[in-house]
Structure 1
Amino acid sequence: MVIVTSTLTPPEGDQIANRLFRLSIGVFFIGGFLTSSVSLLVPQLKLTLHLDYRDALLVQLAFHSSYLLFALPITWIIVRNGYMRAIVVGLAVMTAACLTLTLAQTILSFAMVLGALLLLSAGQTFLQIASNTVVAVIGPSRGAARRLTLLQGFNSLGTVLGPLISAPLLLAELDADAARGVGATLPFAGTALVTAILMLAYFRHRNLLARGEAQPFTQTGRMFQVIRLPCLKWGTAAIFFYVGAEVAIGALLPTVLMRPDRLGVTPVIGGQLVSLYWGGAMAGRFLGAWMMMHMAESRLLLAVALGAVALTLSAIFLPGAFGAGVLIAVGLCNAIMYPTIYAMALPPDARQAPVASMWLCMAVVGGAIIPVVTGALADATALLPALALPAGCYAFIAWFAAHCPKPQEQNS
């Protein structure tokens, strides 16, 4: 097996990098839109099918488990065919998944919903590995975290618009007949159209990146050799806990806001208010990209992780609008976590980047496991005390920020 590194061909290197960045905006945006829209399926299916928290959160298990199941074969496809062609395949899979999810919403089949979400996340896995890695390695390594943070800002814009657009369609009615209506199918039917357009755009630019000299790569040996790098090893764990905590809070937030001892709002309003949670991440990412020019990335990550711990624990005890507000504010702390952890963990050697990115992408399975465990805790105890688990996840991220070696020390 060989790794094919993507290189920029002078003298058009800057133009190609800029074009790649512009193409990536659409991919990051639609990924965010889907993530927040899928989270709204948790309260929708819980109310229409009368599920408990654990079963409803199987939505997140299906949506995030493919990152673990398919990351290795998808990495093989990427190193064989290149980043751009892999993104085309990922967008094609996502288009098919969105159409399947539209059908599942029409007939209200929980099993089909879970299957469609597994397929959807398989397509997203292509994008996670290929898009994040190519943006990080194409261009100066010193600016990798800033470039990823800017693109994650567009991802957050998608997560903000997702609840605003999808909540009135998915949560307007709570009975099964309404769930089968046309409105509930529109968010994912529209997304299928967008992913199809993006697929055609990437197919047109499939030769944008030149394929560099092949480098020998022993799949199993190199895979476990790379994960021994300190920042990658602990960064993989940090991604696991970050995604798990963010998804758990985002999925449970509408239910928290509907509680009489918090805001007591309707399901539609609760779903739309989740856009404030994702909106905090959007604002924080653009602000974070500016702050990274003036302070160390690890210090900024430490500060926001400790802030997330404090806010999540406060949400357990503070009543009314205060308790709701501090939980929504966790989104602001989430803002720079993923791109910063990713950039800190990624090895400086571009030949190791696809395998390292595979490990980081596999860690997104935390979004499948942590929410289900949180839901089980909520069923066993109560909803609010279960938020202690996401708080613990943020505590680990703070530890990672304080102890991760500098990027240049990874191979020392």
Structure 2
Amino acid sequence: MAQSAPSNPALSPAVPAGAANNASNNAGPLVIVTILFFMWGLLTSLNDVLIPHLKAIYTLSYLQAMLVQFCFFGAYFVVSVPAGALIRRVGYQRGAVIGLLIAASGCALFYPASQSGYGLFLFAFFVLASGITILQVAANPYVTVLGPASTAPSRLTLTQAFNSLGTTIAPHLGGILILSGAALGADKLAAMNATELAAYRAHEAASVQGPYLVLAATLAILAVLFALARLPKIVHGEETTAAAGGKASALAYRHLVLGAVAIFLYVGGEVSIGSFLVNFLGEQHIAGLAPAVAASYVSLYWGGAMVGRFIGFAVMRYVSPGKSLAFNALAVIALVLAAIYGKGALAMWAILAVGLFNSIMFPTIFSLALHGLGRHTGQGSGILCMAIVGGAIVPFVQGALADAIGLQPSFFVPVACYAFILFFGLKYAKLHLEADAAA
């Protein structure tokens, strides 16, 4: 996934303790935190390579293959609140170390999974994503406190750009390291006896061992570096009731509820498209690409999000966030429809161009949803964080539809997701203009 998750609901507004905002002192810690953003972007995007690989090895249906994303993004929903409690107990820095070690354990589990079966792979994905969830909850606040508050948006843009760099590089590397072998077709697999089939599956699954053991070692090294780094301590400020508007809960704010639905559908739509890209580009009437070649094109999908972030950063200085969001959602709807009804180069490049317009959606929806929540901002952040579970549900729905009516028409599922985002953007744009007029 190309976005970074918000902080957890259970955490109050945080401030750095002491005079920790000296630029020279913060350069090293900021580099380490930025590497963390890069790593979880890379790990998340590698799923798009592993899904078609595991689908071919274990002759899975699309629905069964989407269990990868179900287990991975389901961890956000399951682990988010416990992660907040853990970090409140042990602190942000130790929490990040724990998250890194759990993620490293998840990567290490890919080795026995390759010798066992699909079920252990799914468990490994859940453990890996649990570590990433804890890591995100712990690391995000550091970006805002490692320097003056006035430059926090630029630091967030920088770290998110490196997150997108990770999502861009991962499919290309995965294509080289994991998908380089030619997978056998279903007819040849059906002709094998049980012993031959087990040997083939073990041989093909073994291609993940080396890459994920390297990732496990890298995460363990980062855990040591993070433990030794001199990072500013974050102290929780007391919540005030003055700015809350008298409402009892964040759920009393309609724009927060709509924003949570939008986050659910956006993450679901983005992840779902990425999950099916290798198979989509492999269709003979689309591009007929081999999996390893198709994986390199998936990098363009995620790379577009990286480029689009910088374009969006400039454009939104002059255009309201709501209008920008609505325009991008409309562009995505048009592109996905072109991919559904088109064929050949038109369908291929249309679906890849979606990444460019995905770029601003997560941070824009997140900021619009939290606008004016006052003391309920922390609770609202957690609701939005848990809504990332859309990355587990929406691909599952599209997988079921792909099995029932075919891969290409199954992309109507993300079209429906972006239709709601279009509505949300237009709704916010109207409210934003009214607020400006009232002011």
How high is the TM-score relative to the length of structure 1? 0.89
Does structure 1 retain, via aligned residues, the 8 Å contact 2:308–2:359? yes
Q: CA deviation at 1:200?
A: 2.0
Residues 166 and 224 of structure 1, relative CA distance in 2, 3 Å threshold:
farther
The answer to whether residue 97 in structure 2 is matched with residue 72 in structure 1 is no
Of all paired residues, the percent bearing the same amino acid is: 35
Residues 331 and 111 of structure 1, relative CA distance in 2, 3 Å threshold:
same
Residues 91 and 56 of structure 1, relative CA distance in 2, 3 Å threshold:
same
Residues 391 and 194 of structure 1, relative CA distance in 2, 3 Å threshold:
same
* Residue aligning to 1:162: 170
Residue 340 of structure 2, aligned match among 316, 331, 342: 316
Secondary structure class of the residue paired with 2:14 = strand
Residue 384 of structure 2, aligned match among 347, 354, 360: 360
Q: CA deviation at 1:272?
A: 1.8
Residues 374 and 151 of structure 1, relative CA distance in 2, 3 Å threshold:
same
Secondary structure class of the residue paired with 2:252 = coil
Whole-Å separation in 2 of the counterparts to 1:142 and 1:295: 21
How high is the TM-score relative to the length of structure 2? 0.83
2:350 is aligned with what amino acid? V
* Residue aligning to 1:176: 201
Residue 280 of structure 2, aligned match among 256, 263, 270: 256
Q: CA deviation at 1:94?
A: 0.5
Residue 109 of structure 1, aligned match among 95, 114, 117: 117
* Residue aligning to 2:322: 298
Cα-to-partner distance string for 1:205-249 (whole Å, 9 max, x where unaligned) = 4651242445599xxxx9981233333222211111111111111
Alignment root-mean-square deviation, CA: 3.0
Residues 38 and 328 of structure 1, relative CA distance in 2, 3 Å threshold:
same
Residues 283 and 381 of structure 1, relative CA distance in 2, 3 Å threshold:
same
Cα-to-partner distance string for 1:21-52 (whole Å, 9 max, x where unaligned) = 43331111111111111221110111111111
Does structure 2 retain, via aligned residues, the 8 Å contact 1:281–1:333? yes
Q: CA deviation at 1:186?
A: 2.3
Whole-Å separation in 2 of the counterparts to 1:111 and 1:196: 25
* Residue aligning to 1:96: 105
The answer to whether residue 251 in structure 2 is matched with residue 227 in structure 1 is yes
2:220 is aligned with what amino acid? A
* Residue aligning to 1:288: 312
Does structure 2 retain, via aligned residues, the 8 Å contact 1:241–1:394? yes
Whole-Å separation in 2 of the counterparts to 1:254 and 1:313: 18
Does structure 2 retain, via aligned residues, the 8 Å contact 1:75–1:355? no
Whole-Å separation in 1 of the counterparts to 2:322 and 2:365: 9
Secondary structure class of the residue paired with 1:135 = helix
Secondary structure class of the residue paired with 2:235 = strand
Whole-Å separation in 2 of the counterparts to 1:13 and 1:279: 32
* Residue aligning to 1:330: 354
Residue 128 of structure 1, aligned match among 136, 147, 153: 136
The answer to whether residue 415 in structure 2 is matched with residue 388 in structure 1 is no
The answer to whether residue 331 in structure 2 is matched with residue 307 in structure 1 is yes
Residues 293 and 119 of structure 1, relative CA distance in 2, 3 Å threshold:
same
- Unpaired runs of 5+ residues, structure 2, are 1-8, 184-199
Q: CA deviation at 1:357?
A: 2.5
Cα-to-partner distance string for 1:318-360 (whole Å, 9 max, x where unaligned) = 1101101100000111111112222222356786444332211
- Unpaired runs of 5+ residues, structure 1, are none
1:386 is aligned with what amino acid? S
1:247 is aligned with what amino acid? V
1:152 is aligned with what amino acid? Q
